[in-house]
Amino acid sequence: MTAKIDCIPLVRIVDDDPELLKSAAFLVRMAGFDVLTYESAASFLALDDGLRPGCIILDQRMPGMTGLELQEALVEKGSTTPIIFLSAHGDIPMAMQAVHRGAMDFLVKPADPEVLVEAVKRAVAKSVEEAQAADETEKGQNFVESLTERELEVARLVAEGLLNKQIADRLAISLATVKMHRGNVTRKLGARSAVAIARALAHADAAVVQGRAGVKA
């Protein structure tokens, strides 16, 4: 599923302490983010679709499933949503374990409000950046898949900076044919510049490389 990047980032808070949920939610909303709260890891797993960029503020010691166990479950699902641990029951080995698994921060309750907000901002910025990159990659893939073989040849030469006449000479086709294919390329991409075409091709090529790496793994 594709992340929703055209919306306010969402901060999920998972903690079995109702008062902490209330105060942390107020603080995060004041910082300009949308918030959803969950009183258990199980309810979070059941209800959150992970589509909106943002982050997770996560308690460690909770009934049923701990924060570390939830983190492990999310990693197994392929989630990349940044996690900030906020716990009164943490120690150095636990913090190192959480960070080793990908957590961005491990804060001890009661955390300084400014420290927590700054941690949230860093995590959200990372999430938004990753979502935008994934969106560009998907658009690049869709763009390339929509092109005919000849349109793709023309697009790659446009991306290299060649002029229409140079492309016609390289491919041994007429100038009018180059203009027709280039027009189709820009229409399908929704942009006219060679830079935009090059960026879309680069994202599509990166996706192909990632796909091959995944198959080998």
Q: What is the pLDDT of residues 96-111, one digit of tens each?
A: 878 777 788 888 888 8
Please state the φ and ψ torsions of residue 99, each to the nearest 5 degrees. -65, -40
**Residue 41 maps to which CATH number?**
3.40.50.2300
The Cα–Cα gap between 67 and 85 comes to 8
pTM comes to 0.66
Q: What is the pLDDT of residues 137-192, one digit of tens each?
A: 777 677 778 888 999 899 899 988 999 999 999 999 999 999 999 999 888 877 67
Residue 6's pLDDT is 57
Q: Are residues 100 and 189 in the same domain?
A: no
Q: Is residue 138 part of a domain?
A: no
> What's the total number of domains in the chain?
2
175: domain range? 147-216
Contacts of 61 (CB under 8 A, 6+ apart): 67, 87, 88, 89
User: What count of other Cβ atoms lies within 10 Å of the Cβ of residue 123?
Assistant: 24
Q: Are residues 120 and 173 in the same domain?
A: no
The Cα–Cα gap between 142 and 129 comes to 20
Q: Are residues 111 and 212 in the same domain?
A: no
